[in-house]
Structures are given as C-alpha cells and as structure tokens.
Structure 1
C-alpha cells in the first residue's frame, strides 16, 4: 500500500516534464543572450581602447643593439 502510493507520487506526466524542460531551456536561452550582449559590449570597448593613443605611443628612442661589436656580423 505504501509503495503503491510512493510510486504514484514519483510518476511525472509528459505535460509536467515538457513544462520543466521549457522552463530550463528558457533560463539557458536568457543566459546565452546575456553572454552574447556582453561579448559585443566588450568587443566594442576593446575596439575603442585600441583606437586611443595609449597603444600608439611607442618609445622611438629604442635602438637595436644586436649589431654591436659583441656580436659577430658574419
């Protein structure tokens, strides 16, 4: 009698399973959309930062020293 009630309580109908799967899929879809939006925002911010002068100011005073007398120029 108790096992019969327990098995009936654990049975999930097709409609309940479908509703659970739809809810889980919706949650994952929201997470995917949030990730895509963040990716595009980061890409736009990276592009904006690369266009600033922070990366264009290269030290022009550096000279290549490998051609000096300590290295053979054969």
Structure 2
C-alpha cells in the first residue's frame, strides 16, 4: 500500500526555497531603507521648522494648543 502524502506540485526544493526567501528578504530590506531615508528627511524638515520665527513666536506667546473647535471649547 503506497500512500503519497505530498503531491509533487507541493514539493519545493531547497534551491527554490532559498530563492523565495532571498526575494522576500530583499523586498523587506528595500522597505526598511525607504523608511530610514524618510525618517531622516522628516527629521531635517522638523529641525528647519523648529528654527523658523513662526514657531518661536508661537512658543513665546504661550498659547494653549488644545483650544479650538475640535476640543469643544466654543
């Protein structure tokens, strides 16, 4: 009695598995690199905005940021 538990279509060789894993790892590496570049760009933009006069004027005025129609302060 010969019972074939694994059909031949499902069997994956180690070479195929390695290629699949390399492809998936490469895709994730690209996503990670894109995220790192965006993080540094946002950090640089935030630094520029913190040095502008508009931010300093707002900070010196001491206005409450929670005031506004979204918080129910009519």
**Which whole-Å deviations, capped at 9, do the CAs of 1:32-68 have from their partners, x for residues lacking one?**
00000000000000000000001111238xxxxxxxx
2:56 is paired with a residue whose SS is coil
**Rg comparison, structure with higher value:** 1
Task: Identify, as 1 or 2, the structure richer in helix.
Answer: 2
> What is the TM-score of this pair, normalised by structure 2?
0.70
User: What's the counterpart of residue 71 of structure 1?
Assistant: none
Structure 2: 5+ residue runs without aligned partners? 63-74
> What is the TM-score of this pair, normalised by structure 1?
0.70
Runs of 4+ in 1 over 6 A off after TM superposition: none
1:7 is paired with a residue whose SS is coil
Distance apart, 1:9 and its partner CA: 1.2
The number of residue pairs the alignment matches comes to 57
2:43 is paired with a residue whose SS is helix
